[in-house]
Structure 1
Amino acid sequence: MSSGKDAEAAVLEAAAEDNPPPGFEMSRTRGPYTTHNGPFYHQVTEEGFWHGVRLKTRHCNSRGIAHGGMLMAFTDGILATAVFRATKRPAVTMRVNSDFLSSGKAGEWLQGTAAVTRVEGDVVFVRGHIECEGRQVLSASGVFKITD
């Protein structure tokens, strides 16, 4: 069984290897699925927030580009973050629509952001996008239902 000190050392080693852009910090409050697929990073500014990840081979498909399922899971997290930041309430995904515009490869930095566009009762509408090394990779819209 590893100690908390060993776990912290592994986190710091991953962060050094990932070399996130300035201002990004490792996210440490993710659920087990997202933590397994990371490590993921975040940055909060006055304009909003960004989530990011250094793409690894495990994030890619057999063609060597970021797998669509990985991009969708990453997008869902970004959209959900926007919903929580705007409402301060937990919500679940009802629908996500996406357009794949480009791709990312292992070693590249992928980042995305989103913003709520409308709230109607316990239903929240949100839009977001992902970019990689200056290329738009995906745009998305989603609908979430507040659960509390």
Structure 2
Amino acid sequence: MSETPRPRLDVLIRRIDPELPLPEYAQPGDAGADLRTTVDAELAPGERAVLPTGIAVALPDGYAAFVHPRSGLAARCGVALVNAPGTVDAGYRGEIKVIVVNLDPREGVSFRRGDRIAQLVIQQVEKARFHEVAELPGSARAEGGFGSTGGHAAV
């Protein structure tokens, strides 16, 4: 029995750099569409850079886009995103830029124009109404945090 495909969300996109492809999903079922850099960049160990992607989007109200790292860049090169995930709000109309950092302690990393540098995940988001209270209701976890549930030999 096959599943009915989910409807696609229409997102308006402006191509700032007409020579690069639009974001695309590499495989069926992928959550993130690949973002590419428009510039060459060299990052020494510990160095960071803001890389432009050559696109801007208009998301529908009630949605946000989140810029996530690429696992292959992290595993092979030690590349991470400084503010992962970066948030693109529905009202933002500027170019999407990605803040990358080279966490490898010894090797530099090179990016070339057109390299895939991050993934864009679009999600529906809720607007919260905040209600100030003197006390929060109890829970099983209470105030336990930062490793309070275990899961690592050092905890």
Relative contact order higher in (CA < 8 Å, ≥ 6 apart): 2
Flag whether TM exceeds 0.5 (same fold).
no
Larger % of helix: which? 1
Q: How does the TM-score come out when normalised to structure 1?
A: 0.31
TM-score calculated relative to the size of structure 2? 0.30
Higher strand share: 1
Larger Rg over CA atoms: 2
